[in-house]
Amino acid sequence: MSAALIEAQDLTVDIETRSGRLRPVDHVSFALRAGEIMGLVGESGSGKSMTCRALMRLLPSRQARIAAGRVVFEGRDIAALPESEMRALRGPKMAMIFQNPSSHLDPVMTIGEQITEAVLSHEKIGRKAARDRAADLLRQVGFPDPRRQLDAYAHQFSGGMRQRAMIAAALACRPQLLIADEPTTALDVTVQAQILRLLLDLRDRTGLAIILITHDLGVVAQTCESVAVMYAGRIVERARKTDLLRRPLHPYTEALMRSRPESVPLGSLLPSIEGQPPALSQLPPGCRFHPRCPHCRPLCRETDPALVGAGKDRASACLRWEDLYALPAGGRA
Ligand SMILES: Nc1ncnc2c1ncn2[C@@H]1O[C@H](COP(=O)(O)OP(=O)(O)OP(=O)(O)O)[C@@H](O)[C@H]1O
């Protein structure tokens, strides 16, 4: 297996608030190889965006900071790099796209100008070459007439085409890692499938590694090789996608899987997970999922479970994973 492109090692983010310190990302660890697509899954507020913003060192406020851990990119810890050096990595090494392209594309610059400027800010090439690159990128992401469409503004495109334009802009400096934060959540199902297919094509053609943030295991099923499931700031399960979908090893993953539309007969109501995720300021003792867990035992209310190895390429943070998900002798998790 090749070395990791990026690795989060015990990555921890703290936010100082007037009422005390919150920890939205708590000792998160995972590794991603070149060309791999990893899904980062969990309900709203579980810490997915904050984890990825920490990787890019784009934490949202002055109060939020990396409090512990490492972000190893191509073998080098970048968690404490000076901002000037970090700026040189954003674009050429790693880039991020978001759910709502309209708030990330400039409304008063043409799509072509935005991509061209992104190229010129990092590379010493002529404007004509940068514009040629922009046209080529638009073609790669599915614009049918890229030369002409370079001169259009974001508002002239549909939601799906705006998302494609944001992907083109993110790829302007040929990054090795793309972080996609819920890139298809605002799109209808058909366009969502097209954008996921585009991400897969880009990965196949360029070897791009992708972290795909989503709350939807259906998206993971279609796209990813590996998955990390987050709950209340922690990773509670990590696995290859096929293993996880075949047999989850954490009750939270199991609950997420039961609430997928695909697992429910047509016309039935979708089961939701009972209860709410805890507020970061009021985390329960023991396992953070125990108040919502149908398999909770007294031990789970007292003991904070570590994320432990649970078979090949797998880890679970459930104290009971072996009792609950016992495999037949010789079975594979
Ligand atoms: N500036 C802030 N001050 C205090 N808490 C914050 C701040 N920004 C985020 N949080 C909290 O950090 C936690 C993690 O948020 P994050 O956006 O990473 O979650 P998420 O899993 O990406 O959710 P979503 O899918 O809704 O974006 C949440 O509980 C959120 O309320």
**ipTM for this model:** 0.96
The pLDDT value given to residue 260: 76
Q: Give the pocket of ligand 1 (CB within 6 Å).
A: 15, 17, 22, 24, 42, 44-50, 60-61, 215, 280
For the chain, residues classed under CATH 3.40.50.300 are: 4-93+175-325
Say how far residue 181 (Cα) sits from the centre of its chain: 6
Please state, in angstroms and as integers, the Cα–Cα distance from residue 264 to each residue in 29, 259, 325, following that order: 32, 8, 22
Distance 164 CA to ligand 1 centre (A): 26
pLDDT given for residue 3 in this prediction = 86
Q: What is the CA radius of gyration of the chain?
A: 21
Most ligand 1 atoms within 8 A of CB, residue of 14, 15, 19 to mutate: 15
Q: Which of 16, 18, 22, 55 to mutate to test the pocket of ligand 1 (most atoms within 8 A of CB)?
A: 22
Q: Whose CA is nearest to atom 14 of ligand 1?
A: 47
pLDDT in tens, 135-172: 999 999 999 999 999 999 999 999 999 999 999 999 99
Whole-structure pTM value: 0.93
Which whole number is the average pLDDT over 220-231?
Answer: 96
pLDDT confidence of residue 269: 64
Greater confidence (144 vs 185) lies with: 144
Count other C-beta atoms under 10 Å from residue 1's C-beta.
Answer: 6
DSSP code at position 285: S
- Count of C-beta atoms within a 10 Å radius of residue 227: 27
Which fold would CATH assign to domain 4-93+175-325? Rossmann fold (3.40.50)
Cα–ligand 1 centroid distance for 329 (angstroms): 42
